[in-house]
Amino acid sequence: MARPPILLASASPRRSALLRQIDVDHDVRPVDIDETPRTGEPPAQYALRLAEEKARVLWQRLEPAERRPVLAADTTVALGLEILGKPLDREDAARILARLSGRAHEVHTAVALLHEGGADARVSTSTVTFRDMSAAEIEWYWRTGEPADKAGAYAVQGHGAIFIRHLAGSYSGVMGLPLYETWELLAPLLGLNGREGAA
């Protein structure tokens, strides 16, 4: 049986589901890296660095005979230059969500591809505007279990959608894998340039 054409350096079921959505067969090979932001590092650059590092770490772990193109991604939620990571606990999630309440924030998702022929990457930036959230709603949302392992303490594709008043950009990017940019990287590798038949 032929092996899937790429390796996904992520444990995220959402990223895997998004790849399946565009019929990209893949094997999941998550990696752990140090995700500490550097002092003064802009959020989009932070996301790009982590995506590229995840791809590189997995590539270096593979024996030459095992190597296939590696795809990696990182999603960073930011208020201006402040990076809002995954919440540490209930109180931290409540703090993050209270900060997002009633205002716009940015979601930067970087996707990186590494293969024998080289490396490339893209960053998708979207603006998400939350409506005002009550303390009771924030507490209810925490009890759903959804915010615990999400950057910015919410999931656009889950219960968190009820708080989103407006989204400008890439829905799939906010979800964790911007499909437009991902296809730009993968199409040449899959023998598809994305332009055939274009008017």
H helices of the chain, in order, are 13-21, 43-61, 90-100, 135-143, 171-175, 179-189
Q: Are strands 104-115 and 118-130 parallel, antiparallel or unpaired?
A: antiparallel
3-state SS of 99-138 is HHCCCEEEEEEEEEEEECCEEEEEEEEEEEEECCCCHHHH
Helix (H, G, I), strand (E, B) or coil at 164: strand
Q: How far is Cα of residue 104 from the mean position of the Cα atoms in its chain?
A: 18
User: One of 74, 92, 120, 149 is an active-site residue; which one?
Assistant: 74
Half-sphere exposure of 140 (CA within 13 A, CB side): 9
Element (H, E) at 73: strand 70-79
Rounded to whole angstroms, how far apart are CA atoms 97 and 135?
9
Taking phi over 0 as left and psi of -120 to 50 as alpha, with beta for the rest, 181 belongs to alpha
Is-catalytic flag, 74? yes
Give me the active site residues, please. Answer: 74
